[in-house]
Amino acid sequence: MGAHNNVHIPKESWPYFTWLAIEFFIVLAVGALSSREVVNMIAKDATPSMQNWYFFGAISAIIVAWYIVIRPFVFKKKILETRY
């Protein structure tokens, strides 16, 4: 039996974009759970429409804080960058 020379071997065993998607959904889940707790603390003082604003405002604040403030400092090391 001969060997095939048309076998594709990727440089990485897992596609890079899936790690970004997993990271996004983890940050989204943490933001949703945290904002739910924030809204539960202020539920008796705010109307339901204001609770919606607090909920989505807290989620967006957590996502923006992660991607703009925290993530660049966490993944600053060269050893963690695998982009080509």
Angle between the N-to-C axes of helices 16-41 and 48-64, in degrees from 0 to 180, rounded to the nearest 10: 140
Please choose, from the candidates 72, 66, 69, 73, the residue with its C-alpha nearest in 3D space to the C-alpha of residue 27: 66
Please choose, from the candidates 5, 54, 50, the residue with its C-alpha nearest in 3D space to the C-alpha of residue 34: 54
Cα–Cα distance between 13 and 60 in angstroms, integer? 32
pTM across the whole model: 0.70
Q: What is the pLDDT of residues 19-75, one digit of tens each?
A: 889 999 999 999 999 999 999 998 888 888 999 999 999 999 999 999 998 888 887
81 pLDDT higher than 60: no
Q: Which helix (H) or strand (E) holds 66?
A: none
